[in-house]
């Protein structure tokens, strides 16, 4: 039998807006379905013999079987921030370990992340096995419904407290309540960060500054049955600063591959290893940068701007009809973006199941960028933030498709 490899679509297809993913579907049919980021931890809980159902996924064992996860007493799941499936596939020549995994039939097809395809929404979707409409984490910036001010959900600036905003139990908490060992290995500064408290509370956190020490801590923890979580942020951080296709990003990617190979070498024999990501990244085009501050017609009727450059949320001024904002934005952006009201997006299932308390946190109008377009607002964002070389958040293949790579030590 010949060696199979992933075939990468052309750039036009990768950057075309895709239909929204579903959070579940019979027999895993359709885009998303069982092959969704929200399914990974519930499936892993079944793999280690302690199935944890969630508000979105009632049958963890079905998820395990459909995703192809073998059973094991101990598992390590690695979240590589920003390493989309197609980013990986297009640079696979720099990553011998990841290349060996992605060429296996069980790993050759991506799973889907949530909408918006951004860290705060995806991390909480992953950690709880649910969706942004339940976690209340719907974008990088969103309305704080308690104060009426805009909040930022990486550091939770001006935000509702993590435990009050994100009220879904995490899979880590549910496992801990069953008496299962759950360990998180990461940087010291993330040990009690607001995002950790929102999305990953319940694990015993082991802090180490050096990447190799974090890898070894994860492998040491895996000697006891249970679940171990390892977070690697370098692909996302380097992509935002230098571009995902830059030499610096490739260097970071090579180091990530070395860390993952070290997990494989040092994990106890029989440990299940799963590598995934929260989103992919696109390279931006400066000529397709739209600044709301420079276009009064786009700012008309808009009280506040949230979200991120690829998934903008517009909050209407009192008395303003969101449909009027939609019409103005559609006239200006044409096929450069998908523009819809909050009601339309919710009815289409963009945020999964949506609690009434979460609905007003979402913008009245949502704008999902296509191609390499970015939408910024220089009135409220720094010049650097409006000119990042790589970003994410929209519903293109390169942003929404993430890896689910399965290995066994």
Average pLDDT in the 180-184 region?
98
Average pLDDT in the 358-384 region?
97
Cβ burial of 271 (10 Å; 0-12, 13-18, 19+) is buried
Domains delineated in the chain? 11-282+396-408 (3.40.720.10), 286-389 (3.30.1360.180)
Q: Is the pLDDT of residue 25 over 60?
A: no
Q: Is the pLDDT of residue 108 over 50?
A: yes
Average pLDDT in the 298-322 region?
98
Query: 3-state DSSP call for residue 169?
Result: coil
Distance CA 178, CA 54 (A): 15
Q: Is the pLDDT of residue 330 over 90?
A: yes
Residues 70-88 have pLDDT tens digits of 999 999 999 999 999 999 9
Q: Is the pLDDT of residue 26 over 90?
A: no
Nearest CA to 307 out of 145, 114, 123, 142 is that of 142
Token pair for 72: 């094991």
Q: Is the pLDDT of residue 27 over 80?
A: no
Distance CA 97, CA 80 (A): 14
Backbone angles phi, psi at 27, to 5 degrees: 60, 20
Token pair for 337: 């973006």
Q: Is the pLDDT of residue 403 over 60?
A: yes
Average pLDDT in the 325-335 region?
97
Contact (CB, 8 A) for 56 and 385:
no
pLDDT at 361: 98
Q: Residue 33 — pLDDT band, cuts 50, 70, 90?
A: confident
Query: 3-state DSSP call for residue 341?
Result: strand
Q: Is the pLDDT of residue 100 over 80?
A: yes
Nearest CA to 365 out of 310, 326, 404 is that of 326
Distance CA 205, CA 318 (A): 45
Contact (CB, 8 A) for 398 and 377:
no
Contact (CB, 8 A) for 102 and 89:
yes
Give every CB contact of residue 29 below 8 A, 6+ residues apart in sequence. none
Contact (CB, 8 A) for 268 and 219:
yes
- As a whole-number percent, the residues of the chain with pLDDT over 70 amount to 97
| Residue 256: its H or E element | helix 247-266
Give every CB contact of residue 15 below 8 A, 6+ residues apart in sequence. 282, 370, 371, 372, 396, 397, 398
CA distances from 294 to 290, 334, 379 (A): 8, 18, 9
| Residue 123: its H or E element | helix 119-128
Average pLDDT in the 384-397 region?
97
pLDDT at 185: 98
**Average pLDDT of the residues of the chain:** 95
Residues 270-287 have pLDDT tens digits of 999 999 999 999 999 999
Query: 3-state DSSP call for residue 340?
Result: strand
Average pLDDT in the 127-156 region?
98
pLDDT at 31: 58
Q: Is the pLDDT of residue 4 over 70?
A: no
- As a whole-number percent, the residues of the chain with pLDDT over 90 amount to 95
pLDDT at 373: 98
Backbone angles phi, psi at 406, to 5 degrees: -110, 130
Cβ burial of 27 (10 Å; 0-12, 13-18, 19+) is exposed
Rg of the chain, C-alpha, whole Å: 20
Q: Is the pTM higher than 0.85? A: yes
- Tell which phi-psi region holds residue 104, choosing left (phi > 0), alpha (psi between -120 and 50) or beta: beta
């Amino acid at each position: 039998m010949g060696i199979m490899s992933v075939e990468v679509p052309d750039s036009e297809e990768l950057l075309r807006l895709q239909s929204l993913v579903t959070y579940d579907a019979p027999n895993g049919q359709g885009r998303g379905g069982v092959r969704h980021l929200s399914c990974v931890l519930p499936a892993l809980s079944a793999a280690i013999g302690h199935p944890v159902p969630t508000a979105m996924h009632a049958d963890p064992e079905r998820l395990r079987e459909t995703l192809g996860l073998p059973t094991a007493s101990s598992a390590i799941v690695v979240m590589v921030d920003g390493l989309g499936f197609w980013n990986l596939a297009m640079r696979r020549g720099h990553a011998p370990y990841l290349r060996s995994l992605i060429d296996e039939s069980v790993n050759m097809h991506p799973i889907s992340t949530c909408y918006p395809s951004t860290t705060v929404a995806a991390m909480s979707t992953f950690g709880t096995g649910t969706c942004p409409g339940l976690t209340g984490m719907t974008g990088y910036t969103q309305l704080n419904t308690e104060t009426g001010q805009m909040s930022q959900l990486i550091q939770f600036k001006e935000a509702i407290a993590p435990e009050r905003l994100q009220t879904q139990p995490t899979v880590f908490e549910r496992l801990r309540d069953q008496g299962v060992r759950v360990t998180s290995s990461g940087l010291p500064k993330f040990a009690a960060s607001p995002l950790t408290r929102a999305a990953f509370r319940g694990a015993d956190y082991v802090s180490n500054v050096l990447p190799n020490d974090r890898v070894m801590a994860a492998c040491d923890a895996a000697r006891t049955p249970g679940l171990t979580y390892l977070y690697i942020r370098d692909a996302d951080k380097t992509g935002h600063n230098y571009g995902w296709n830059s030499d610096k990003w490739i260097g970071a990617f090579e180091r990530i591959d070395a860390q993952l190979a070290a997990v494989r070498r040092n994990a106890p024999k029989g440990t299940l290893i799963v590598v995934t990501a929260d989103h992919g990244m696109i390279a931006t085009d400066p000529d397709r940068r739209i600044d709301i501050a420079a276009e009064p017609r786009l700012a008309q009727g808009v009280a506040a701007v949230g979200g991120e450059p690829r998934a903008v949320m517009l909050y209407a001024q009192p008395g303003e009809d969101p449909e009027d904002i939609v019409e103005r934005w559609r006239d200006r952006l044409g096929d450069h973006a998908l523009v819809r009201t909050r009601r339309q997006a919710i009815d289409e299932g963009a945020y999964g199941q949506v609690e009434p308390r979460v609905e007003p946190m979402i913008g009245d109008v949502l704008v999902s960028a296509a191609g390499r377009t970015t939408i910024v607002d220089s009135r409220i964002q720094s010049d650097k933030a409006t000119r990042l070389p790589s970003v994410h958040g929209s519903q293109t293949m390169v942003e929404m498709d993430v890896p689910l790579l399965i290995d066994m030590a």
